Protein backbone atom coordinates (compact mmCIF):
# COMPACT_ATOMS: atom_id res chain seq x y z
CA UNK A 1 0.00 0.00 0.00
CA UNK A 2 1.26 3.49 -0.72
CA UNK A 3 1.19 6.04 2.05
CA UNK A 4 -1.98 7.79 0.82
CA UNK A 5 -3.82 4.46 0.91
CA UNK A 6 -2.46 3.78 4.40
CA UNK A 7 -4.03 6.96 5.78
CA UNK A 8 -7.26 6.69 3.76
CA UNK A 9 -10.47 6.19 5.78
CA UNK A 10 -12.99 6.06 2.96
CA UNK A 11 -16.10 4.17 4.06
CA UNK A 12 -14.87 3.59 7.62
CA UNK A 13 -17.31 4.16 10.47
CA UNK A 14 -16.06 6.07 13.50
CA UNK A 15 -17.82 6.65 16.83
CA UNK A 16 -16.47 9.67 18.68
CA UNK A 17 -17.81 10.16 22.20
CA UNK A 18 -18.13 13.85 23.00
CA UNK A 19 -17.52 14.40 19.28
CA UNK A 20 -19.58 17.58 18.89
CA UNK A 21 -17.24 19.94 20.76
CA UNK A 22 -13.62 20.64 21.62
CA UNK A 23 -11.01 18.00 20.85
CA UNK A 24 -13.65 15.42 19.91
CA UNK A 25 -14.96 17.71 17.16
CA UNK A 26 -11.43 18.37 15.91
CA UNK A 27 -10.78 14.62 15.63
CA UNK A 28 -14.19 14.01 14.01
CA UNK A 29 -13.30 16.62 11.40
CA UNK A 30 -9.97 14.93 10.78
CA UNK A 31 -11.44 11.46 10.26
CA UNK A 32 -14.19 12.82 7.99
CA UNK A 33 -11.64 14.71 5.91
CA UNK A 34 -9.99 11.33 5.26
CA UNK A 35 -13.34 9.81 4.21
CA UNK A 36 -14.87 8.33 7.38
CA UNK A 37 -18.57 8.33 8.29
CA UNK A 38 -19.23 9.65 11.79
CA UNK A 39 -21.29 8.87 14.85
CA UNK A 40 -21.23 11.79 17.29
CA UNK A 41 -22.63 11.08 20.74
CA UNK A 42 -22.79 13.04 23.97
CA UNK A 43 -25.27 14.10 26.63
CA UNK A 44 -26.28 17.26 24.71
CA UNK A 45 -28.01 15.77 21.69
CA UNK A 46 -28.81 19.17 20.15
CA UNK A 47 -25.09 19.98 19.91
CA UNK A 48 -24.46 16.62 18.21
CA UNK A 49 -27.32 17.30 15.80
CA UNK A 50 -25.94 20.74 14.93
CA UNK A 51 -22.47 19.28 14.29
CA UNK A 52 -24.04 16.49 12.21
CA UNK A 53 -25.82 19.12 10.07
CA UNK A 54 -22.52 20.93 9.52
CA UNK A 55 -20.84 17.66 8.49
CA UNK A 56 -23.78 16.70 6.25
CA UNK A 57 -23.38 20.04 4.44
CA UNK A 58 -19.85 18.89 3.58
CA UNK A 59 -21.16 15.53 2.35
CA UNK A 60 -20.21 13.50 5.41
CA UNK A 61 -22.69 10.82 6.55
CA UNK A 62 -23.15 11.55 10.25
CA UNK A 63 -25.38 10.12 12.97
CA UNK A 64 -26.05 12.26 16.05
CA UNK A 65 -27.06 10.40 19.21
CA UNK A 66 -27.69 11.23 22.84
CA UNK A 67 -25.42 9.15 25.05
CA UNK A 68 -24.17 9.30 28.61
CA UNK A 69 -21.00 7.21 28.89
CA UNK A 70 -21.74 6.63 32.58
CA UNK A 71 -24.78 4.61 31.57
CA UNK A 72 -24.23 1.13 30.13
CA UNK A 73 -27.70 0.94 28.51
CA UNK A 74 -27.14 4.28 26.80
CA UNK A 75 -23.80 3.06 25.41
CA UNK A 76 -25.39 -0.17 24.16
CA UNK A 77 -28.12 1.82 22.42
CA UNK A 78 -25.48 3.95 20.67
CA UNK A 79 -23.62 0.86 19.50
CA UNK A 80 -26.86 -0.80 18.32
CA UNK A 81 -27.99 2.33 16.44
CA UNK A 82 -24.57 2.60 14.79
CA UNK A 83 -24.65 -1.01 13.61
CA UNK A 84 -28.26 -0.62 12.41
CA UNK A 85 -27.32 2.49 10.41
CA UNK A 86 -23.87 1.59 9.11
CA UNK A 87 -23.49 -2.18 9.65
CA UNK A 88 -20.02 -1.90 11.19
CA UNK A 89 -17.78 -0.05 13.68
CA UNK A 90 -14.22 0.45 12.50
CA UNK A 91 -13.02 3.16 14.86
CA UNK A 92 -13.94 4.15 18.41
CA UNK A 93 -12.54 7.30 19.98
CA UNK A 94 -13.20 7.38 23.72
CA UNK A 95 -12.96 11.15 24.05
CA UNK A 96 -15.76 12.10 26.48
CA UNK A 97 -14.26 13.52 29.63
CA UNK A 98 -14.81 15.77 32.62
CA UNK A 99 -12.67 17.23 35.36
CA UNK A 100 -13.21 18.56 38.87
CA UNK A 101 -10.92 20.90 40.77
CA UNK A 102 -10.65 20.80 44.57
CA UNK A 103 -7.80 20.24 47.01
CA UNK A 104 -7.39 16.53 47.78
CA UNK A 105 -8.48 16.99 51.39
CA UNK A 106 -11.76 18.63 50.26
CA UNK A 107 -12.53 16.62 47.12
CA UNK A 108 -16.15 15.46 47.41
CA UNK A 109 -16.65 11.74 46.79
CA UNK A 110 -19.41 12.53 44.25
CA UNK A 111 -16.97 14.65 42.23
CA UNK A 112 -14.29 11.93 42.34
CA UNK A 113 -16.86 9.32 41.27
CA UNK A 114 -18.21 11.47 38.42
CA UNK A 115 -14.72 11.93 36.97
CA UNK A 116 -13.72 8.27 37.32
CA UNK A 117 -17.07 7.02 35.98
CA UNK A 118 -16.93 9.29 32.93
CA UNK A 119 -13.24 9.17 32.03
CA UNK A 120 -12.25 5.65 33.05
CA UNK A 121 -15.35 3.49 33.49
CA UNK A 122 -16.95 5.11 30.41
CA UNK A 123 -13.87 4.19 28.39
CA UNK A 124 -14.09 0.60 29.63
CA UNK A 125 -17.84 0.27 28.99
CA UNK A 126 -17.69 1.77 25.50
CA UNK A 127 -14.66 -0.32 24.54
CA UNK A 128 -16.48 -3.42 25.77
CA UNK A 129 -19.70 -2.69 23.83
CA UNK A 130 -18.04 -1.57 20.56
CA UNK A 131 -15.33 -4.18 21.04
CA UNK A 132 -17.87 -7.00 20.76
CA UNK A 133 -18.64 -5.77 17.22
CA UNK A 134 -14.93 -5.41 16.43
CA UNK A 135 -14.23 -8.92 17.73
CA UNK A 136 -16.89 -10.21 15.34
CA UNK A 137 -15.46 -8.19 12.47
CA UNK A 138 -11.93 -9.32 13.39
CA UNK A 139 -10.67 -5.76 13.08
CA UNK A 140 -10.94 -2.41 14.79
CA UNK A 141 -9.14 0.66 16.09
CA UNK A 142 -9.75 1.97 19.58
CA UNK A 143 -8.26 5.34 20.51
CA UNK A 144 -8.51 6.47 24.11
CA UNK A 145 -8.02 10.13 24.91
CA UNK A 146 -5.79 10.20 27.96
CA UNK A 147 -3.77 13.29 28.93
CA UNK A 148 -0.26 14.23 29.95
CA UNK A 149 -1.98 14.56 33.35
CA UNK A 150 -2.01 10.75 33.40
CA UNK A 151 1.77 10.52 33.11
CA UNK A 152 2.88 12.26 36.30
CA UNK A 153 1.82 14.30 39.31
CA UNK A 154 1.09 18.04 39.33
CA UNK A 155 1.58 20.80 41.94
CA UNK A 156 -1.25 21.85 44.31
CA UNK A 157 -2.19 24.75 41.98
CA UNK A 158 -3.66 22.10 39.68
CA UNK A 159 -6.03 20.42 42.13
CA UNK A 160 -7.69 17.71 40.05
CA UNK A 161 -6.53 14.44 41.57
CA UNK A 162 -9.49 12.44 40.25
CA UNK A 163 -8.74 13.64 36.73
CA UNK A 164 -5.06 12.66 37.00
CA UNK A 165 -5.95 9.26 38.45
CA UNK A 166 -8.56 8.64 35.74
CA UNK A 167 -6.14 9.47 32.94
CA UNK A 168 -3.41 7.30 34.48
CA UNK A 169 -6.02 4.57 34.55
CA UNK A 170 -6.89 5.17 30.89
CA UNK A 171 -3.22 4.72 29.97
CA UNK A 172 -2.78 1.34 31.66
CA UNK A 173 -6.25 0.27 30.49
CA UNK A 174 -5.08 1.03 26.93
CA UNK A 175 -1.93 -1.06 27.28
CA UNK A 176 -3.70 -4.00 28.90
CA UNK A 177 -6.56 -4.05 26.38
CA UNK A 178 -4.01 -3.79 23.55
CA UNK A 179 -2.37 -6.99 24.81
CA UNK A 180 -5.68 -8.74 25.30
CA UNK A 181 -7.19 -7.94 21.87
CA UNK A 182 -4.07 -7.87 19.68
CA UNK A 183 -4.78 -11.47 18.63
CA UNK A 184 -8.14 -10.29 17.25
CA UNK A 185 -6.61 -7.63 14.99
CA UNK A 186 -7.85 -4.79 17.19
CA UNK A 187 -5.39 -1.97 17.82
CA UNK A 188 -5.79 -0.07 21.08
CA UNK A 189 -3.81 3.13 21.53
CA UNK A 190 -4.05 6.37 23.48
CA UNK A 191 -3.39 10.01 22.74
CA UNK A 192 -2.09 12.13 25.61
CA UNK A 193 -2.72 15.79 24.73
CA UNK A 194 -1.04 18.63 26.56
CA UNK A 195 -2.85 21.97 26.96
CA UNK A 196 -5.47 22.74 24.30
CA UNK A 197 -7.89 25.66 24.92
CA UNK A 198 -11.40 24.17 25.10
CA UNK A 199 -14.45 24.52 27.35
CA UNK A 200 -12.82 22.13 29.84
CA UNK A 201 -9.41 23.80 30.01
CA UNK A 202 -10.04 27.49 29.30
CA UNK A 203 -10.35 28.70 32.91
CA UNK A 204 -7.23 26.83 34.05
CA UNK A 205 -5.28 28.05 31.02
CA UNK A 206 -6.47 31.63 31.56
CA UNK A 207 -5.32 31.56 35.19
CA UNK A 208 -1.91 29.98 34.49
CA UNK A 209 -1.15 31.14 30.95
CA UNK A 210 2.38 32.48 31.36
CA UNK A 211 3.52 29.71 33.73
CA UNK A 212 2.21 27.01 31.36
CA UNK A 213 3.77 28.58 28.28
CA UNK A 214 7.17 28.66 29.99
CA UNK A 215 7.00 24.87 30.33
CA UNK A 216 6.01 24.21 26.70
CA UNK A 217 9.15 24.13 24.52
CA UNK A 218 7.19 24.91 21.34
CA UNK A 219 5.95 28.04 23.13
CA UNK A 220 2.22 27.76 22.40
CA UNK A 221 -0.93 25.85 23.29
CA UNK A 222 -2.43 23.15 21.06
CA UNK A 223 -4.36 24.51 18.08
CA UNK A 224 -7.52 23.51 16.24
CA UNK A 225 -5.50 21.17 13.99
CA UNK A 226 -2.75 19.81 16.25
CA UNK A 227 -4.59 16.57 17.10
CA UNK A 228 -5.75 15.80 13.58
CA UNK A 229 -2.67 13.93 12.41
CA UNK A 230 -2.42 11.81 15.56
CA UNK A 231 -6.10 10.81 15.32
CA UNK A 232 -5.92 9.87 11.63
CA UNK A 233 -2.68 7.95 12.15
CA UNK A 234 -4.11 5.83 14.98
CA UNK A 235 -7.45 5.34 13.18
CA UNK A 236 -5.94 4.17 9.90
CA UNK A 237 -3.89 1.34 8.44
CA UNK A 238 -0.83 3.58 8.87
CA UNK A 239 -0.74 2.39 12.50
CA UNK A 240 -1.49 -1.30 11.92
CA UNK A 241 1.77 -2.31 13.66
CA UNK A 242 1.24 0.10 16.58
CA UNK A 243 -0.71 -1.02 19.63
CA UNK A 244 -0.57 -0.23 23.33
CA UNK A 245 1.10 3.08 22.50
CA UNK A 246 0.54 6.48 24.15
CA UNK A 247 1.08 9.22 21.58
CA UNK A 248 1.94 12.42 23.43
CA UNK A 249 0.87 15.63 21.64
CA UNK A 250 1.98 18.38 24.01
CA UNK A 251 4.38 20.79 22.32
CA UNK A 252 7.25 19.11 24.18
CA UNK A 253 5.83 19.81 27.66
CA UNK A 254 6.77 16.37 29.00
CA UNK A 255 10.03 16.10 27.02
Ligand X SMILES: NC(=O)c1ccc[n+]([C@@H]2O[C@H](COP(=O)([O-])OP(=O)(O)OC[C@H]3O[C@@H](n4cnc5c(N)ncnc54)[C@H](OP(=O)(O)O)[C@@H]3O)[C@@H](O)[C@H]2O)c1
Instruction: Report 78-107 residues binding ligand X (CB under 6 A).
Output: 95-98
- Considering the complex, state which of residue 22 and residue 140 has its C-beta at the smaller distance from ligand X: 22
C-beta of 227: minimal distance to ligand X in Å? 9
For residue 116, give every residue at least 6 positions away whose Cβ sits within 8 Å of its Cβ, in sequence order, or none.
162, 165, 166, 169
Active-site residue, from 86, 112, 126, 163: 163
Burial 101-114 (b: 16+ CB within 10 A, else e): eeeeeebeeebbeb
Q: What Rg do the C-alpha atoms of the chain give, in angstroms?
A: 17
Closest contact distance (angstroms) between CB of 142 and ligand X is: 14
Q: Is 214 exposed, middle or buried (0-12, 13-18, 19+ CB in 10 A)?
A: exposed
Answer yes or no whether residue 173 interacts with ligand X by CB under 6 A.
no
Min dist CB 108 to ligand X, Å, is 17
For ligand X, the closer CB: 43 or 81: 43
User: Is 163 in the active site?
Assistant: yes
Among 60, 67, 93, 133, binds ligand X (CB under 6 A): 67
What's the CA gap between 245 and 230, in Å, rounded? 12
Please, what is the angle between helix 72-86 and helix 122-137, to 10°? 30
10-49 footprint of ligand X as x/- string (CB under 6 A): -------xx-xxxxx-----------------xxx--x--
For residue 38, the surrounding DSSP H or E stretch is: strand 37-42
Draw the binding track, 189-228, toward ligand X (x: CB under 6 A; -: no contact).
Answer: ----x-xx-xxxx---------------------------
Which string of x and - marks every residue 135-154 that binds ligand X (by CB under 6 A)? ----------x-x-------
**Greatest alpha-carbon span in the chain:** 55
User: Please, are residues 37 and 90 in contact by the beta-carbon 8 Å criterion?
Assistant: no
Q: Which residues are catalytic?
A: 163
Q: Could you list the residues that contact ligand X (CB under 6 A)?
A: 17-18, 20-24, 42-44, 47, 67-70, 95-98, 118, 145, 147, 193, 195-196, 198-201
Amino acid sequence: MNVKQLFDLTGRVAIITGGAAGLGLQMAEALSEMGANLVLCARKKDRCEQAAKDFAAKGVKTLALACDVRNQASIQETVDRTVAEFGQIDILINNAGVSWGAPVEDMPLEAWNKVIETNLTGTFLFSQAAGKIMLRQKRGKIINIASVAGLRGAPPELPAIGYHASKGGVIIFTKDLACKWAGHNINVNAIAPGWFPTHMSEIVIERNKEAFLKRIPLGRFGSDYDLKGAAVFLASAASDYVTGHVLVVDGGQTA
